[in-house]
Every structure is written in C-alpha cells, then in structure tokens.
Structure 1
C-alpha cells in the first residue's frame, strides 16, 4: 500500500499547503486566503486522493483509500499504512475532513431491494466534507443510522435515457470490452455496466476525481488555537448555510399540512410526498436529474462512444442522465424528476385504485398548483421565505409521450426544443437520423423545473 510524495494522479499523494494551494485557490479562493494568513508549514501534511470513476469513497462506517494496485482499504484496516493512520486516523469512524478538488462525488442511498438509488448530495469542487468533524461533539446519543449513505467517485445515480437492454447489442459490448455483466434490465443496473466499460483495459480511462484530506493537526488547531478561529468560523458559516433547509423543514411541512386542511385536499399520499419532494428539488436541497454535457460527473464521451460505436445505438442519441442540484436563482437550466424513476425520501403507499401515469400527473399538477397558489399568498406563514419565492418564480412543466386532452401535459418529444442539452452529443458519436428518445421510461411521466427569476 503505497503513499507517495510524487503526484502522478493515482492513489494517495502526501503533500503540503505550499504545494497544493494554487489548486485549492481555483475552487475555494476565500478559504485559501484565510489559510494563507495562517501559513501552515510542512508539519501540517495534506493528502491528495485520486479515485477512478465508480470507486467507493466511503460509507457511514469509514472512508476507503486506494492502495495503488486497483484495490482499496479502510482507515480502520490493520494493514493501513502507518503514516495514513497517524495523520488521518482521526476519521477512522467516518471520514477525515476533506474537500473536493476535481470532478464530483455522489452521496446516495442504495435500496437494492427496490432496485433504485436515491441521490442525496452531489459534491463539486470546493465542497467540504464531513462537517460533523468540525461541528460534532462527543455524546452517547447516536442519531445517524448506520449503513445508509454511500459515496462514490462520480455519479452513481446515472443511466442511459434510451433502452440498453438488448441482448444482441449487449453482446458487442461483451466482445469489445470483456464485459461480464448481463444486459441491464432496470435503470438501477446501468451504472454497473458503465463502470465495467470504463474499467476495461480497452479504454484505459484516465478520468479521476481528486480529494484533499486534512491531517489531524489541522483539525486540532481549528478546535484549540484561537489564531485559527477565523477559519473555523468560516467553515461553521458554510455548514450553517448548507443545512438551512433541514433546519427549517419542520415549518415547511407544517405549511403544506395547513394548505391541505384549508383547501380540503385529500390526495394520494404518494403524490403529496412527491409534491413536497419537488419543492425540495426546486430549492436545490435535494438533487434532480439533468442530461450530462461534460465529464464532471462521469467519463461522458467514452461511455457515449462505447454505446454508439460498439453497442450500436443508431436510432437514438446516447443521452446520459445524472443527478444535479437546481439553482433557482439562475434562470435557464432545467432539472427533472420522473414518476417512473422516483427518488423521494419517503415511501407512502400509492392509492389502491389503479390509475395511469397520466392520471397521476394530472393529480400531481393540481396539488402543485394549489401549493403554489397558497404559498404565494401574503398571508401564508411561508410567504416571505425561500419556499414562498419558489412558489412564485419556479415553473413546473409536465411531460408524457402520450397526448393529454386537457392540454396540461406536454408531449415529451418537445423536451429538446425547451432544453438543448438533450441533443448534446459529440459529432463523433452522432449517427445520421439519431433522435431524442421521447418514449424512454424516464420521460413518460416527467416533471421539469425552470426559474423565471
């Protein structure tokens, strides 16, 4: 298990603030400015960790470290390098304090029995983790459940929009990339196939996320040295902003309940939960889905090329979807949610009455319209809050591949006209006549969110 001081963008690299500060400054200039005033010397080591696409970064038990031989070890493992244990062992029960430098991480909940993952958070360059290292205090009360959250390098909750379950075409991937997985039957299975393609020796993919871990001496100084108080306060303020929605969620839940009582709403509980989740998505508190247009979350161009050139996807564009947080203060880009691929955080039962997806969409649209009307009223308890702003400034668009007599639901074939990202494919993988997969399961009952601010 190697720890090197020579950065070859692989494994674990021991470094110093002087060496890495320029890279940190590119993604977190204010943090860099404060640290420069403290001028930490070489006795404050930092560790760069490079992770290939799909590699586990950690779970609720501990972090994983690459061993330089395409394997990984936990910080708690007996064979972990002594230097790593000495400086990062304080994060043995969870994670050392770190920051994303390159690409993205996804925190998600893996519900294998339901064949879904729930994207929880997407961490981009400049994001710190975990704030519990700074904010937590010793207590015999355990609030966080074990074995729930998992973290991967790059996007886990990703999938190809068109169907990729054809055994005949899949045989081409098996031949060209030595694939062992069967053709995927669900969207949940797509990631396993993507990861195996990227790990293939045929590609020799160089995609890496990069994290920087802070040694225990940094954390001790934050807790004990008054000279480091400015940096500690900066990180505390960042954490305070990050958890603002969670701290106020009880008030939002109360507002939704009062609206239901006032308007005598007695909808399908599943759709009520979905409506609340749509507001959380519009707030940016939880991720929605967007079409991938760059390599930040996954090796997009290489995956698309594999399905265009090897799998033989010629009828449809190889559009990949990935989790992303919506920014309602930035008009233009949309984010999406699908009734066919739910990612709500609660699982109320559906109504026993058999209903079509279109019927559910129409009922959901009515619930959302009522919520928006009431939350926009000046007399509402949330009128002056960010939820009130969402109700006034975010537009919810409903799509299905079948027609709607009421004209509320737009045909999914119109999505690319509203969002050009669905047509984003490199010319090298674009087949003549290939079109947007308007009949894909994800867009058969899809809600898009856009901001008018």
Structure 2
C-alpha cells in the first residue's frame, strides 16, 4: 500500500474542503489566495504512520511513507512543512479518520479520533515557545489503531487459514491489542482502497495569518478551533475538585484505580476521550474487507464479525451513538494499581457503579456547585448501563445478552452472514459500562 502527495492551489481544492468544513472554506474564499499560497493534498493507506512519537511522516513521490527528516524528502517540501519542528503541520482531514494514541509496553491508549473537517496540528503552532504540548509522546495512524474483534479470534487452527490466505506472519492474537497488526497485514495483502486524505498547510500560510490584517479572520478561526478543542482540559481542575468534594461529603474512600476509571469515564462522557463502539461504517478502516476475511478465511461462522473502534460520545446530541468502556481493556492514562481486595471484574464493576451513582446523586442535589456547566447536565442527559456475562440484577449489572436490545449498532455489521450470533462472551464486554443518551420522557 502506497501513499501519495500532490501540490494543489486553493481553487482546485476548495470544493472538497467546502464539503467537510463550510466555515473554513468561506473564510479562505474571502482571502482568494493565489498560486503562491499552494497546499498539499496527502493520502495515507490504512494503518500507515502519520506520526511516530511526535515525528511526522510524509509520502515520497514513489508512495513510500517516511519520516519528514528522511534525506529523500524534497527539500522544498520539508521547508514548507517542518515549521512544526518534527511534529505534524497544520492541516484538515478531507476523507476518513486518524487516531492519536499513546503507546506503552503494556497498552495502546486511544487519545483522539479526528473526523473529516477536523483541523489538526494547532496546539503547538499557537503555543508560545517552549510549548506545554508534549508531542513526543503521541503517535498517529491512518484509521483506527485501537481496532479489534468482539468475538474470540484466537483459535490456532482457524488462524492458520489467515496465514495461508493473507501471508499473516503474526501468531494468533492472545489479547485485543494483538489484533491490529493482523488487520493491517490483511488490508495490505488485499490492497485495500481505503485512504485517509489530508490537506496540509505550508508555513507561508501560518506566517501570513499572523502578520497580515486581511488574514486575521483565518487566524481567529484557527484560534477558536484550538480553544474549543481543549474545553474539557481547560476546566478539568474544577471537575477534579468536584469529585474530591463528593468524596469528602460522602466519606468515600474508593480504590484509587477505580477512582481513576471514574475520572476517565467522565472524560469519555464529555467527549474529551474516546470510548468504543461497534463499527457501522468505513470511516475508521476497511471494515467490510476485514469482516469478510474473518468469515470466509478464518471461518468465523457461528458469531457475528463485530469490530469495535474508538469513538467520541456527543452529550449535546440525543441521537449520538452509545460508546463503551471495558474493565477488561483499560484505557485510562493514569496507572494506579488495582486493589488486591477486588478479586474479579464483577466486583470492580459493582464498586465503580456505586461511586458513579453517588457522584450523579451529588450533582443532582446541587452539592458540588457546578450549576450551568456541562457536568450539571449529566444526570438529565446521560444514562449509564453496566453489563457482565454474570449478571447481578439486584446490583444493576445486566447480562451481556441484553446489549443488543438497546444498541442496534451491534446488529449492523457491514459484511452480512446468515448464522452469526452476537458474541455475548466477548472479552471486551465481560464487564463494561455503556455511556448513552438518556431518552426524553
């Protein structure tokens, strides 16, 4: 799979930009930039690197994707785009998505999914130097990096079929995180036509925006975009304070690991961090191709080939798809140790639910003084449901078999098969929290 890069003028690309971000297109139309203000349209195949621990990657003319520091990168191109030091320049997503994540020896932690129309690369460019933004801890891939099957796909005999048909070199996956490299290989072998398309903005645009009054509206739009994108982070200290007040008011002494999980689920609820949802379109990767490979080659016949990917919940949209957090697949960016007193996931889920119920009650009772904030909306707008393979209805823990009753996304696989059942014993949902919009009464 190869990438591509093409130098374009605004008049050649404006219609495409308008289709994903009307406001930005209107502002640039007013500038009517000439040919000297060219841009770069870049395409990346599924799974390819845009950034590896802060080092930006770019396609060469032959389609090979290399670090921006590679000596084979055209000198003029590097000069246009390396104003971000080694990190990503400012750009806009034209088609499909990318995932920003942090890699550790144990985990891959999804941080952000950026969708068509999103402007990226702003925080560092609009910061003073030295910046507060630690770009070197982040990596970015075309499509979802945190992508995995809900049914078990660890059968050695079945996996050999993938080795035969798609030249997969990896062993059968032992964990959810082991699956993505296999998916990437399948996409490469099938020469998937899935592409992430970006429009990269050269340094000349950014310099002009900072000094030319005629460009101030463009610059203000960049500032506003960056400001809105960090709304949760700017106010996080107050939400932390509110949670501490609840602990003090109710004399809670929770397991630190579960308190970290509560904080993270709140950030998912408010759209800052991604949860996970069943794939129902191809924005995050060649989903149909992968599902077909597992049904026809791996021979996943008795269970539906449901793929899960990171997604952001929108508390302001009653039609927003629900997302999930799994106690089996922790994605918090805090690493407090698990309590030895909690011996299984079901006990963790019960205690988590108790902490969350207390927090929501204190918000409703106006005991945390967050009136007129987005946090104050939680009890009215969001419903939390809890699922496990061993339900405890008395404690509010439902059976995973009930998950399809309230979330039709699980039944909407892109590749259809006749006999596939919902994999209710899947690792991810064996102790999970559903974050969904509360139905209006």
- For 2:419 and 2:69, locate their aligned partners in 1 and report how far apart those are by CA, in whole Å: 54
Report the CA distance shift for 1:407/1:369 in structure 2 as closer, same or farther (over 3 A). closer
- For 1:410 and 1:61, locate their aligned partners in 2 and report how far apart those are by CA, in whole Å: 42
Of 387, 392, 398, the residue aligned with 2:375 is 387
- Report the equivalent of 1:396: 384
- For 1:92 and 1:207, locate their aligned partners in 2 and report how far apart those are by CA, in whole Å: 29
| Partners of 1:27 and 1:126 within 8 A in 2 | yes
- Report the equivalent of 1:6: none
- Report the equivalent of 1:230: 217
- How far 1:69 sits from its partner (Å)? 3.9
| Partners of 1:62 and 1:91 within 8 A in 2 | no
Report the CA distance shift for 1:144/1:60 in structure 2 as closer, same or farther (over 3 A). farther
- For 1:435 and 1:237, locate their aligned partners in 2 and report how far apart those are by CA, in whole Å: 46
- How far 1:205 sits from its partner (Å)? 1.0
2:394 aligned counterpart, secondary structure: coil
- Report the equivalent of 1:307: 294
| Partners of 1:270 and 1:347 within 8 A in 2 | yes
- For 1:77 and 1:163, locate their aligned partners in 2 and report how far apart those are by CA, in whole Å: 40
1:50-199 pair list within 5 angstroms: 50-111=43-104, 113-114=105-106, 116-139=107-130, 143-145=132-134, 147-199=136-188
Instruction: Kindly indicate whether residue 313 of structure 2 is the aligned counterpart of residue 326 of structure 1.
Output: yes
- Report the equivalent of 2:424: 438
- For 1:241 and 1:433, locate their aligned partners in 2 and report how far apart those are by CA, in whole Å: 45
Gaps of 5+ in 2: none
2:55 aligned counterpart, secondary structure: coil
| Partners of 1:284 and 1:326 within 8 A in 2 | yes
1:442 aligned counterpart, secondary structure: coil
- How far 1:407 sits from its partner (Å)? 4.7
- For 2:199 and 2:248, locate their aligned partners in 1 and report how far apart those are by CA, in whole Å: 49
Of 399, 414, 420, the residue aligned with 2:402 is 414
Of 4, 18, 21, the residue aligned with 2:11 is 18
CA RMSD of aligned residues (A): 1.5
1:113-144 CA distances to partner (integer Å, 9 max, x unpaired)? 21x211101100111111135412223xx544
- For 2:371 and 2:122, locate their aligned partners in 1 and report how far apart those are by CA, in whole Å: 31
Report the CA distance shift for 1:70/1:183 in structure 2 as closer, same or farther (over 3 A). farther
Of 29, 48, 58, the residue aligned with 1:36 is 29
- For 2:391 and 2:413, locate their aligned partners in 1 and report how far apart those are by CA, in whole Å: 28
Report the CA distance shift for 1:138/1:411 in structure 2 as closer, same or farther (over 3 A). same
| Partners of 2:245 and 2:368 within 8 A in 1 | no
Of 284, 308, 315, the residue aligned with 2:271 is 284
Report the CA distance shift for 1:43/1:381 in structure 2 as closer, same or farther (over 3 A). same
TM-score of the superposition, structure 2-length normalised? 0.96
2:210 aligned counterpart, secondary structure: helix
| Partners of 1:97 and 1:133 within 8 A in 2 | no
1:79 aligned counterpart, secondary structure: coil
Gaps of 5+ in 1: 1-8
- For 1:369 and 1:82, locate their aligned partners in 2 and report how far apart those are by CA, in whole Å: 58
1:259 aligned counterpart, secondary structure: helix
- Report the equivalent of 1:3: none
Report the CA distance shift for 1:96/1:403 in structure 2 as closer, same or farther (over 3 A). closer
1:448 aligned counterpart, secondary structure: strand
1:49 aligned counterpart, secondary structure: strand
2:276 aligned counterpart, secondary structure: strand
- For 1:319 and 1:291, locate their aligned partners in 2 and report how far apart those are by CA, in whole Å: 6
